[in-house]
Amino acid sequence: MLLVEARTRLGDLDLDVALSVPAGTCLALAGPSGAGKTSVLRVVAGLTRPAGGRVSCDGETWLDTARGIDVPPEDRGCGYVFQEYALFGHLRAWQNVAYGLRDGTRAQRRARALELLDRFGLAARADARPGTLSGGERQRVALARALARRPRVLLLDEPLSALDPRTRAGAGRELAGVLREAGVPAVLVTHDFTEAALLGDRVGVIDGGRVVQEGTPADLAAAPASSFVADFTGAVVLTGTARRRPDGLTHVALDGGGEVVSLDAGEGAVAVSVYP
Amino acid sequence: MSAGATLLGGPAAPVRRRVVRAGFAPLLVAALAALIAFLTLPVVAIFVDTSPGALVSSLGDEAVLSALRLSLECTLIAVTIIVLVGTPAAYLLATRRFPGRTIVVTLVELPLVLPPAVAGIGLLAALGPRGLVGGAVADAGIELALQTAGVVVALVFVAAPFFVRQAQAAFEAIDHSWLDASRTLGASEARTFLRVAVPAAAPGLGAGLALAWGRALGEFGATIMFAGSLRGVTQTAPLAIYELFSGDFDGALALSAVLVAVAAALLLSVKLLSGAAILGGAAR
């Protein structure tokens, strides 16, 4: 279980979040750019120190500003897949994967790295430099690198957005499998609700440094707490006047003309989210 | 009238613009050609005016050889010190924001704009026998004035900023997420510096090294003021050229030719080495 509480000011943004992610599940934080998504990951990894907050993983405290505890990033054991992947350009693919390995001889580390690359179907590209890899290959090398150290938490920053649409669907399915298999808490951030719904067991919609609603993807789509969430989930938000009819349905006369019917009860001025 | 002028000006403008556009590329080429001609002319003249015989006989001259040897030794020690101290200092300047950083950067760059003679006087006033900290230096058993060690001090002073500036720019150009990634992969800050930052910045560090080494090889003013021009002790190649110049112009030319060749060879090999690093670390 990963527990995160952070309050801090970052430039123009007031970050104030509290999250808990059970092992083996993925929380997808979705929101527009500048909402503070990446900052949450950085706080968990220890790359950004919030003014106040706590981070703990499986009962082990990584950060507690009140008690002056701040474990450095290298001792936290977070597998972090960065946006654009941040592969070391001066190292080969297998060396990138082996970078985090400390135990054993160079030959053993290389063997372990090759084994991981092979799992991602990249054995043939082990000696390639990141610059010569395709976007999809880079993403898989970055995943292999993050998994090599058997991380206690997985953090993924827009893992699919650097990929072209054709690669994205396949990479998304593969990533979902990896997350299930890893069995550790995972936090993924994305600006794309569809991606969040695909990969997250739960989705937190984040805006202006706050989680405005959290739930399963179905919850969010069925009952968006605000028009921002509804908008974000891809619904069209319309306003109108609701009136209950004898048939038990609610008829809403839309302000722009026309009428929609809903099973939800409502009366008076309402906003309706419609999924086209 | 004014409306008529506007109408006339309208169609004329594109024509003029086309002329400017057509003339711009040749202008760039002409500027570069003039620059190259001016910059290489003296170097070419040194080799044209030096007979191969004079070159060979100057290499047999003990004074010339000892000056060259001293130059290589002193510059090698100086750039070693510069790289060992300058690399971590440049990394700090490139990766941290702290109050007074701009002032620190300016202080590092100050020797770049100091006239070498002023640098020499300053070194004497600071480290000379009666200098600001000269007593402490002497108490530590270190003699600098009129000693080979003094040459190294002068070279470090004038050449260090060339390296540090370049190194700082090279570290600043590294994608910061590489450093973050290294930390999350279990590497301490020190390990990140050695395994990621330095290899990734290697081409820039190499360029800075070449610049600093070139500057040190040619150093004249600060050395002659601070360390003097004692043959075999502090007389580096540029100082020997100056001494030969008063009596033996051909000898001075020959030694100059040798120095140009040595400097060019050094620059080229450093560039080739860091070029290999560029190829090795290619393509972010």
Give CA–CA dist A50/A104, Å, rounded.
36
Alpha helices in chain A (DSSP H): 37-45, 93-98, 106-119, 135-148, 165-182, 193-199, 217-222, 227-232
Percent of chain A with pLDDT over 70: 100
Residues A24/A180, Cβ–Cβ less than 8 Å? yes
CA nearest to B186 within chain A = A74
Q: Do B182 and A99 touch (CB under 8 A)?
A: yes
Question: Residue A218 — φ and ψ, nearest 5°?
Answer: -65, -45
pLDDT score of B284: 35
Q: pLDDT tens-digit profile of A109-135?
A: 999 999 999 988 899 999 999 999 998
Judging contacts by C-beta atoms under 8 Å, the chain B residues touching residue A75 are 186
Express each pLDDT in B70-101 by its tens digit.
999 999 999 999 999 999 999 999 999 899 99
Lowest mean pLDDT among A164-168, A272-276, B181-185: A272-276
Of the candidates A73, A94, A63, the residue with the CA atom closest to the CA atom of residue B191? A73
| Percent residues over pLDDT 90 in chain A | 55
Q: Which chain B residue's Cα is nearest to A84?
A: B177
| Separation CA A207–CA B47 (nearest Å) | 70
* Structure confidence by residue, pLDDT tens digits, B16-27: 666 666 788 899
Gyration radius of chain A's alpha carbons? 22
Chain position carrying tokens 């009596």: B247
ipTM above 0.90, yes or no: no
Q: CB neighbours (10 Å) of residue A138?
A: 23
Would you call A46 and B183 a contact, using CB atoms and an 8 Å cutoff?
yes
In A, which residues are within 8 Å of B175 by CB distance? 86
Q: What is the mean pLDDT of residues A238-250?
A: 82
Q: Per the CB < 8 Å rule, is A89 touching B181?
A: no
Please indicate whether residue B143 or residue A17 has the higher confidence score (pLDDT). A17
Higher pLDDT, A273 or B131: B131
Question: Across chain B, which distance is largest between two alpha carbons, in Å?
Answer: 88
pLDDT value at residue B13: 54
Q: What is the CA radius of gyration of chain B?
A: 25
Report chain B residues whose CB lies below 8 A from the CB of A83: 177
Residue B9 gets the label, from left (phi > 0), alpha (psi -120 to 50) or beta, of alpha
CB-CB contact of A112 with A101 (8 Å): yes
Q: Look up the pTM and report it.
A: 0.81
| Average pLDDT of the segment spanning B117-144 | 87
B202 inside 8 A of chain A by CB: yes
For chain A, the average pLDDT equals: 89
Q: How far apart are the first and last CA of chain B?
A: 60
Partners of residue B186 in chain A, C-beta under 8 Å: 74-75, 77, 100, 102, 149
B183, B200, B284 member nearest A73 (Cβ): B183
pLDDT at A166: 81
Cβ–Cβ < 8 Å for B121, B225: yes
Sheet of strand A186-190: strand arrangement: A78-81, A153-157, A186-190, A26-30, A202-207, A210-215
When comparing pLDDT for A226 and B152, which is higher?
B152
Residue A233 makes CB contacts below 8 A (sequence gap 6+) with A193, A205, A220, A221, A224, A273
Cα distance between residue B172 and residue B92, in whole Å:
10
Are the C-beta atoms of A157 and A82 separated by less than 8 Å?
yes
Alpha-carbon gap, residue B162 to B168, rounded angstroms: 10
Mutation target vs A (from B171, B178, B184, B205; most A CBs, 10 A cutoff)? B184
- Provide the shortest C-alpha distance from residue A14 to chain B (in Å): 22
